[in-house]
Chain A
Amino acid sequence: MSQTATASGISPEVTASSDASLRRERIIELVQRQGALAVLAIVVVVGVVAFDSFRTGDNAATILISAAPPALIALGMTFVIVSGGIDLSVGSLYVLGGVLAAWASQYGTWAAFALPLVVCGAFGLVQGLVIAYARLAPFIVTLAGLLGARGLMLALSDEGGDTYLVKTDAFKHFGTGELFGVGYPVYLVVALFAAGMLLLYRSRFGQSVYAIGGSEDAARLMGVRIHGTQIRVYVLSGLLAGLAGSINAARLGSGVTVLGTGMELDAIAAVVIGGTLLTGGAGTIGGTIAGVLLLQVIQNLINQIGTVTSAWQTVISGAFIALVVVAQTYLARLRRVAPG
């Protein structure tokens, strides 16, 4: 940097000050990108020091397995948010996926995986089509999707009264079995995150997602297929929510109808905490992993303390989300101001 500056004949003082501002910008960027990881490290260290029961391998396995479904939803949400949208329907699709998986398990393990994927994927497809072609705001479309998916789930489960039990042992085994002390679903989730990273960072589709999130007009002028990208993003989000639902059904051994309210908020929170800007066009999957784990570890620590009621947990997580989002906004603003 200083070489190019002296070569172009800029005085040393200017170089120094621009170096300083560059450094400042880098630090801000680092905090914004890796803040979640840093906080996660701190929280884990605190947990390890403070609670004997926290540092057991069993507890770590518990954290990982309970993080599996929310992590999948957050992965889909990362794509959606990077593309400049939002998906509020995932909580309902997650429950719908669970009910469908439990019902379909009577036809075998593959059916239990396939049916939620097909239905939730189709749901995402419809939402994507409406968002792309009718040009309606993603939040209103997916809010209607939240209602519609919930209605569908209630219709399938006799207004929430029927709880389907998982009939196939193989499917149940997938949810509860372990390899090296860690549940099978965790391996699936890790593999999907790796695939997600390849897709977002290394594929044409991933680059289109960044492009339309950064500036839709600019993306259009560059020849990016806006509609196709948007539709695929919402299909992906629906598929992952459905898969998360079937994993949960396999774990619990039934399609529970009362879960899932607020899952979309947790997913959005995890993505935002991970440094992805809600304005779209920027964000990382690594950050989302840190965000999901951070929320899970905090939840786990609150349980370890034991005296915090679930009501306070809600207050804490709400305040935490607000705090992180405010911090992110300020950091983003600082970055924009810094170079000038």
Chain B
Amino acid sequence: MTSLTLGGVDSAKLRRLLPAYGVYVAIAVLVVFNIFFTDNFLEWRNLRIQLVQVTPVVIVALGMALVIGTEGIDMSVGSVMALGAALIPLYLGYGVVPAIILALVGGLAIGLINGGLVAFVGLQPIVATLALLVAGRGIALVLSSGRYKDIRDKNFLAIGTDDLFGVPYTVWIAGVLAVIVGFVVRRTVFGRRLLAVGDNRPAAVLAGVPVKRVLVTVYVIAAILAAIAGVVQVSRIGSADASRIGLLIELSAITAVVVGGTPLTGGKIRVLGTVAGAFLMQLLTATMIANNLKDSTAQMVQAVIILVAVYAARERRTR
């Protein structure tokens, strides 16, 4: 009996562990592959580029993880990024700090609308945030008069180009945000409430969790994080183009979250897994490009990986 079930237990265990830790295995495999087959992969210059490129996705994905933890989804993050980006050149004249604060306020406003529509009106998250996806980018385009704007403020550009202890500022920002989000999820009352809402909403209501307030807060946090990602992106590329910044990033963010082992059904958030998921997708794209596969192929491979990851996550839930 024991010997018979042993095999079963092992495969069940594997099935349980794969979605949660598969992302780390996949990263390890890709790194080993790259060490052997990609020239200059381990050079700091290359690693630095990868790190800098992945930061906006990491920041957006952190917010997305929180939203998905409540059994929601936020499709508007790319437009919020564009809005944050569009606000920067408008207010940079007043200084770097006011400009960044205003960009974050822009995110806050969109987050409030998203959260209000979901929590108080009772719209499905996907519909509410789809509307804001359309309207948000429109607002960003209106603010920037549909024009591409170069940024010359050295202090602001320093955020995107300068280092602290040899690591770019933007990477520090993403790292600190990841730690904060991880702390909030694991160690705070808000984090527990958030997971309760995602796990079983009626039960959360009965337990006295202020569900509506939690939901609004979550969408606001996600939008502010997206605005930060927009600011980071603008500081790195040195220009604000509201029509292009953040396009399809909701897809990358959702992928990162799901690949990292956070189920779309809510009630569970893996913050470190989300960061790892973003890295995995970045590594994958970089590997394919470094080995002369085209962008189109990369997109199709990404599509397949999203499905496989979501399927793996589904398996764990039913066992």
Residues of A within 8 A of B (CB): 86, 130, 134-137, 139-141, 143-148, 150-155, 159, 261-262, 265, 268, 272, 278-279, 309-319, 321-322, 325-326, 329-330, 333
Contacts and interface: CB of A to CB of B under 8 A. Distances in A.
Nearest to B76: A318
A140 B121 contact: no
A333 to B, nearest CB: 8
B218 interface: no
B272 interface: no
Given A137-B264, A144-B307, A147-B251, A322 B300 contact: no
Report the 7 A-B pairs with minimum CB-CB distance, sorted nearest first: A318-B135, A314-B138, A151-B299, A311-B141, A315-B138, A318-B134, A154-B296
A325 B295 contact: no
A140 B264 contact: yes
A146 to B, nearest CB: 8
Given A147-B248, A147-B303, 20 more contacts: A134-B314, A140-B264, A144-B307, A145-B303, A146-B251, A151-B298, A151-B302, A265-B130, A309-B141, A309-B142, A311-B141, A311-B145, A321-B131, A321-B134, A322-B132, A325-B128, A325-B131, A329-B121, A329-B123, A330-B121
Judged by DSSP, the binding face of A is helix
A155 B301 CA distance: 12
B128 A322 contact: yes
B123 A148 contact: no
A139 B310 contact: no
B138 A154 contact: no
Nearest to A311: B141
Contacts of A268: 127, 130
Nearest to A154: B296
B270 interface: no
B27 interface: no
Contacts of A154: 294-296, 299
Contacts, number: 134
A154 B128 CA distance: 30
A227 B206 CA distance: 36
Interface in B217-248: 247-248
Contacts of A272: 127
Contact of A152 (B126, B254, B295, B300): B300
A309 to B, nearest CB: 7
B50 interface: no
A130 B306 CA distance: 12
B146 A318 contact: no
Nearest to B315: A134
Given A151-B297, A262-B134, A309-B142, A136 B123 contact: no
Interface in B248-281: 248, 251, 254, 258, 264
B304 interface: yes
Contacts of B33: none
24 contacts: A135-B314, A136-B307, A136-B310, A139-B126, A140-B254, A140-B258, A140-B264, A143-B254, A147-B302, A148-B300, A151-B298, A154-B295, A159-B295, A262-B134, A278-B124, A309-B145, A311-B142, A311-B146, A312-B142, A315-B135, A317-B134, A322-B135, A325-B131, A326-B123
A159 B146 CA distance: 25
A329 B123 CA distance: 7
B177 interface: no
B119 interface: no
A130 B302 CA distance: 16
Nearest to A317: B134
Contact of B122 (A136, A146, A329): A329
